Structure formats: structure tokens, C-alpha cells
């Protein structure tokens, strides 16, 4: 059967039922919804909203969230069907193994590294930025940024008022006399990002139930802050900021197809799509759910619905309080957009609300990293059990029964990206890996309905194949709207993965026997 050999659903269910060798079943529906919300609300909402508004969609970023949510809804329905049918860790990787064969499973598992591992790296970088902002910038630039980042500092003897950060474009516009006073500082390593990754790795090794409890507390805190900003900010919205609702075609710097009008909405959807990754991470915990046939669809779809409503309201208020033009200014915008809007336009609350928002954001980022690291370790756990990765990834802690060695390897891998790679690069790669995984899961539902129509399905995706096909098309549209260099980087990543598969995994697969 070669590279298209499949794992039977019966063998997957037998593996899921092996409680002695497998992961502990400790999670109920509430835990799963909280895990989904914990993974979803984080960097995407607080950072990507302003970025998508400034770069592509303007006030219509609210519609970008709707488009991204629709794509996620189609994929979420497919995930719900699979997770109730095959309640085992591994998520889309496992589903592909049962429907499309080993090579597709490997490709999707390799893609999930972009989603979960790079997602955790991206959010840890954002966590570092917000921590330094909360602390008043006391961490030296070189110890909280990658070597590929720099900042230009203009000192007070030119313009009174201390030190000012300016962009490269602005600096080039100054006369030589002023440019000579600018000092450029480069980053070296992002230590705060490494610190949060280490702390959460230790928590994950301790146990899934303990991690879920900490996550639930964090979710309550950050949802409360999101609701507080929506409630207070509603009274400070300026209707003029929502007019025009779409970026005009003649707006400076927005001449590209996906930078204005409805094209900008689609381009914005590709950017904010990062905000939705996480609901599928719930499916990686299927082998740790108490009643996965009932609880997995609740966890996946419930968290998606809650977060979509919050996202649309949040983005509407944020772009109403401050104009999308302002978010294009690095000094005002993308990374600290919420704090900027509060301090500039909601001055009544400027003394305490920005710090509270920043604390909630830090907590929210922490829960996102936690769930991403957990999801990636569970995917590696499944791949190692199938022989496609070394056994070390499936070794369980003798006391905690968690894949502790995989957690430590992930810390090194994710930490390397977080410490030395800019967040924008990792973020776009995360989105493309997620979109590709969604496409394959949608295709898998169609295939399974044909190849195994009689298998019990506690949850059934409605309107098959129409809904899965729509999910595939929307995800593909968002992939092609991403920057070409991101697409090229993802292609290179896939080629590296195929080299590893054919040189190592194919020979060591547990299905690689004469009987299979």
C-alpha cells in the first residue's frame, strides 16, 4: 500500500480505549470549552485586530472576523464529526491517517507544527512585548527582541522630550545632521519569551488537569477584561471612524487587491485568522476527555461561537474609538493598540484600565501558549506511536502520565523561534499551516462519508459535501491572499517535511509490514 496505507478506525478506537498505556481522561465539557477559549483569545484579538485594520480592512475588520469565523465554522463542524468518531489525540493528523493515508497524515502533522509550535512562539513574543510595556520598558531592547529586529532612537538634544523611536522611512527623510544623532539598537535574544515558555512547559509536565484548572482561571480573567473594554468603550466611539467602512481604492499605500474594499476584507481575514487558531486544539485532547463522543463537539463549536461574538464586538468598538489610520503608525498602533485607544480617547479610565488590560492580555497570552504547547505535544505523541517520529516523543512520565520528553524537546524548538525570530514571520506561517490543516480535515469528512458511511457518528456535519467544500474554498482563498514570501516559506517547510518522511518515517512506520 506504500505511502497511501491507512490506519483503520477500529485500530484507532482500540488505541483510544487503552487506558493503561494512554493519557489520563480527566477533562469534561467545561474544561474543553475553556481550553478552546484559552487558545483562541490572545495575540490574535489584541494584536492582529489593529494590524488587519491598518494594513487591509480598515473599519471593515469586523467583516474580516466574520469571514474568518465562517471558514472556521465549516472546519469546526468537520472537526466535531471526526473527534466524536475517533476520540484520540492527534487531531487532523489522526483523521487524515484514517481517510487519506500515511503521506497525507504526515503532511498534515508537519503542517500542525506551523500551527501549534510556531503559534506558541508567536504568542510568546507578543507576551514579551506586553510585559516590557507594562514594566515601562525597563528590559533593554537587546534582551527582549530577536537579532533580526532593530529600533532607531532619536535623543532629546534634537527634539526636547527625551528619547523618541522612529521608523527607517522617517529617519531617511531627516537631514544628515539629524540622522547622525540617531542610534540604532539591535536585538540579541528574547529572554522574557523563553521564560514564559519554560514556566508553561513545567506546568504541562505536571499534568493535564492542573493545566486545565490554571487555564480556566485565566480564561475567566481575560474574557472579563474583553467585556469591560467593550462596555466602557461603546460610549467613546466616534461614528466618523467607521466612515467609510471599507478602505477606498485610492487610499495611500493600499493599491493591492487585498488592501482595500472587499479584497481588503479578505486580506484582513487572512491576517485575523490567526486569532481563531486554537479551537481545533481542543480535538488534540480527545484522548483526555471523559466522554469525548458528547463533549468534543461541545468544546470545539462552543468555544468558536463564544469567541466569534466577542471578536466582532471588540473590533467594532476598537475601530470606533480610534481611527484605523492611527494603527498604521508604529508609535501608536499595532502591538499596544488597545492601551493606545484608552489613553488617547478614553482618558477617564487611562489611569487604571490600560494596566488592567495589559495584565489580562499577559494572562490571555499565557493560556494560548499553554494550549498550543499541549496540542503540539499530543500530535507528536500520536505520530511517535505510529512510528513516524522517534519513540522519545511518546514516552510518558512515570508519575504524571504526560509526554514530558516531547514537552522538553518542544521547549527547545519553540524557544529557538521565540528567542531569535521576529513575531510577524512566525505569525503568518502559523496561519498558513492552520488553513492547510483545515482544508484536509474538510476533505477527510467527504472521503470518510464515501469509504465508511455506516460507521457510528455521534455528531454529523450537516450538508455534506456542500459545507466541507465551502470550507476548503474559503481557506484556500485566504492562503492565496497571504504574502508570497510566506507561501514560499511554507512550501520550503513542506519540502523539508517530505525529505524527513521518505528518509526516516516511511521505513519506520508501524504499518510498514508485509501484513499491511
Per-residue CA distances from 377 to 19, 57, 284, 422, 445 (Å): 18, 35, 9, 23, 24
Q: Show pLDDT as tens, one digit a residue, over the chain (516 residues).
A: 578 888 887 777 776 665 545 566 777 788 888 878 877 886 567 777 888 888 888 899 999 999 888 888 888 889 888 888 877 766 778 888 888 889 988 988 888 887 788 888 888 888 888 888 778 778 888 888 878 776 666 554 444 445 555 556 655 666 665 655 566 677 788 999 999 999 999 988 887 677 778 878 888 888 888 899 999 999 999 999 999 999 888 888 787 787 888 888 988 888 887 677 777 777 777 777 778 778 888 888 888 888 899 999 999 999 999 998 888 776 554 556 788 888 889 988 888 888 888 887 788 888 888 888 988 888 888 899 889 999 999 898 888 788 899 999 999 999 998 888 776 666 667 778 778 888 888 998 999 899 888 888 888 999 999 999 998 998 888 788 777 887 888 888 889 999 999 999 999 998 875 444
pLDDT (0 to 100) of residue 318: 94
203 and 175 both lie in a single domain: no
User: Nearest Cα to 494, choosing from 432, 438, 415, 411?
Assistant: 432
The pair phi, psi for residue 480, each rounded to 5°, is -75, -15
Contact assessment for residue 455 and residue 51, using Cβ atoms and an 8 Å cutoff: no
Q: How far is Cα 385 from Cα 109, in angstroms, rounded to an integer?
A: 13
Residue 153 β-bridge partners: 165, 183
User: For residue 428, is it within any domain?
Assistant: yes
CB 275 within 8 A of CB 226: no
Answer with the one of 186, 201, 233 that is the final residue of a domain.
Answer: 186
Residue 81 near residue 296 (C-beta atoms within 8 A): no
Q: Which three cell numbers stand for residue 499?
A: 525529505
CA dist 516 and 501 (Å) reads 18
Backbone angles phi, psi at 423, to 5 degrees: -65, -35
Residue 513: inside a domain: no
Q: Are residues 229 and 294 in the same domain?
A: yes
**Cell triple for 125:** 513574543
Residue position matching grid coordinates 505536571: 206
What is each CA distance from 188 to 7, 145, 152, 172, 424, in whole angstroms? Answer: 46, 6, 15, 24, 17
Q: How far apart are CA 282 and CA 31, in angstroms?
A: 10
**What distance in Å separates the CA atoms of residue 329 and residue 388, rounded to the nearest whole number?**
46
Same domain membership, residue 176 and residue 197? no
Q: Which of 128, 162, 186 is the last residue of a domain?
A: 186
d(CA 77, CA 312): 21
Q: Is 70 exposed, middle or buried (0-12, 13-18, 19+ CB in 10 A)?
A: middle
- Residue 156, pLDDT score: 45
The verdict on residue 30 lying in a domain is yes
- Does 476 fall in a domain? yes
Distance CA 472, CA 75 (A): 8
In a 3-state reduction of DSSP, which class is residue 184? strand
**Could you tell me the three cell numbers for 205?**
509536565
Examine the domain organization and report whether 453 and 465 are in the same domain: yes
On whether residue 130 sits in a domain, the answer given is yes
The C-alpha cell that represents 158 in the structure block: 534634537
Cell of 49: 485586530
Collapsed DSSP state (helix, strand, coil) of residue 185: strand
Alpha carbons within 13 angstroms on the beta-carbon side of residue 187 total: 24
In the chain, how many domains are there? 2
The domain of 313 spans 2-14+26-149+188-508
Q: What is the pTM of this model?
A: 0.77
Q: Are residues 285 and 296 in the same domain?
A: yes
CATH number at residue 315: 1.20.1740.10
Is there a single domain that holds both residue 461 and residue 359? yes
User: Is residue 197 located within the same domain as residue 139?
Assistant: yes
* Phi, psi at 164, each rounded to 5°: -120, 135
What residues are paired with 165 via a beta bridge?
Answer: 153
Q: Considering the chain, what is the average pLDDT of its residues?
A: 82
Contact criterion met (CB below 8 Å) for 283 and 300: yes
The rounded distance, in Å, linking the Cα atoms of 464 and 476 is 18
Residue 8 lies in a domain: yes
Neighbours of 299 (CB within 10 A): 31
- Is 177 found in the same domain as 200? no
Q: Are residues 327 and 383 in the same domain?
A: yes
Same domain, yes or no: 134 and 166: no
Would residue 20 count as lying in a domain? no
Q: Are 243 and 226 part of one and the same domain?
A: yes
Helical ranges in 239-352 per DSSP H: 261-272, 292-321, 324-327, 337-345
Q: How far apart are CA 140 and CA 52, in angstroms?
A: 29
383's grid cell: 505520530
Last residue of a domain, one of 186, 210, 235: 186
309 and 395, same domain (yes or no): yes
Residue 262 belongs to some domain of the structure: yes
pLDDT of residue 515: 46
Q: How close are the terminal C-alpha atoms of the chain, in Å?
A: 7
Distance CA 278, CA 111 (A): 14
> What is the Cα–Cα distance from 247 to 257, expressed in whole angstroms?
11
Amino acid at each position: 500500500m506504500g505511502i497511501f496505507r491507512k490506519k483503520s478506525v477500529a485500530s484507532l478506537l482500540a488505541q483510544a480505549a487503552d487506558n493503561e498505556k494512554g493519557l489520563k481522561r480527566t477533562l469534561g465539557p467545561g474544561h474543553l470549552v475553556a481550553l478552546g477559549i484559552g487558545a483562541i483569545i490572545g495575540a490574535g484579538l489584541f494584536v492582529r485586530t489593529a494590524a488587519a485594520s491598518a494594513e487591509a480592512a480598515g473599519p471593515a475588520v469586523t467583516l474580516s472576523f466574520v469571514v474568518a469565523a465562517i471558514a472556521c465554522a465549516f472546519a469546526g463542524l468537520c472537526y466535531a464529526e471526526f473527534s466524536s468518531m475517533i476520540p484520540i489525540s492527534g487531531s487532523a493528523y489522526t483523521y487524515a491517517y484514517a481517510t487519506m493515508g500515511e503521506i497525507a497524515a504526515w503532511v498534515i502533522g508537519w503542517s500542525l507544527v506551523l500551527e501549534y509550535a510556531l503559534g506558541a512562539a508567536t504568542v510568546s513574543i507578543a507576551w514579551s512585548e506586553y510585559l516590557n510595556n507594562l514594566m515601562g520598558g525597563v528590559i533593554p531592547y537587546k534582551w527582549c527582541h530577536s537579532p533580526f529586529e532593530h529600533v532607531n532612537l532619536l535623543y532629546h538634544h534634537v527634539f526636547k522630550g527625551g528619547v523618541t523611536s522612529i521608523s527607517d522611512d522617517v529617519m531617511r527623510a531627516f537631514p544628515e545632521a539629524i540622522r547622525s544623532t540617531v542610534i540604532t539598537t539591535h536585538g540579541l535574544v528574547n529572554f522574557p519569551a523563553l521564560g514564559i515558555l519554560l514556566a508553561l512547559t513545567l506546568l504541562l509536565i505536571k499534568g493535564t488537569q492542573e493545566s486545565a484548572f490554571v487555564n480556566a482561571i485565566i480564561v475567566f480573567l481575560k474574557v472579563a477584561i474583553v467585556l469591560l473594554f467593550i462596555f466602557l468603550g461603546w460610549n467613546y466611539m466616534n461614528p466618523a471612524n467607521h466612515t467609510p467602512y471599507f478602505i477606498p481604492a485610492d487610499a495611500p499605500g493600499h493599491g493591492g487587491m487585498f488592501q482595500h474594499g472587499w479584497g481588503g476584507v479578505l486580506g484582513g481575514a487572512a491576517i485575523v485568522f490567526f486569532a481563531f487558531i486554537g479551537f481545533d486544539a481542543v480535538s488534540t485532547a480527545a484522548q483526555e476527555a471523559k466522554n469525548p463522543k458528547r463533549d468534543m463537539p461541545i468544546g470545539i463549536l462552543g468555544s468558536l461561537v463564544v469567541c466569534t461574538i466577542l471578536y466582532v464586538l471588540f473590533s467594532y468598538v476598537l475601530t470606533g474609538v480610534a481611527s484605523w489610520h492611527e494603527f498604521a503608525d508604529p508609535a501608536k498602533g499595532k502591538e499596544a493598540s488597545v492601551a493606545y485607544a484608552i489613553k488617547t480617547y478614553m482618558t477617564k479610565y487611562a489611569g487604571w484600565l490600560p494596566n488592567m488590560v495589559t495584565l489580562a492580555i499577559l494572562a490571555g497570552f499565557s493560556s494560548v501558549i499553554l494550549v498550543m504547547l499541549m496540542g503540539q505535544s499530543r500530535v507528536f505523541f500520536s505520530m511517535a506511536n505510529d512510528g513516524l517520529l522517534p519513540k522519545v516523543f511518546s514516552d510518558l512520565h512515570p508519575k504524571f502520565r504526560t509526554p514530558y520528553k516531547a514537552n522538553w524537546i518542544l521547549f527547545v524548538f519553540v524557544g529557538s523561534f521565540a528567542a531569535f525570530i521576529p513575531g510577524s514571520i512566525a505569525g503568518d506561517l502559523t496561519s498558513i499551516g492552520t488553513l492547510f490543516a483545515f482544508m484536509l480535515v474538510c476533505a477527510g469528512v467527504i472521503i470518510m462519508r464515501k469509504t465508511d458511511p455506516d460507521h457510528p457518528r455521534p455528531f454529523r456535519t450537516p450538508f455534506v459535501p456542500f459545507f466541507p467544500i465551502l470550507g476548503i474554498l474559503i481557506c484556500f482563498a485566504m492562503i492565496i491572499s497571504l504574502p508570497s514570501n510566506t507561501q514560499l516559506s511554507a512550501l520550503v517547510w513542506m519540502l523539508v517535511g517530505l525529505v524527513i518522511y521518505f528518509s526516516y518515517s516511511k521505513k519506520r512506520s508501524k504499518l510498514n509490514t508485509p501484513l499491511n
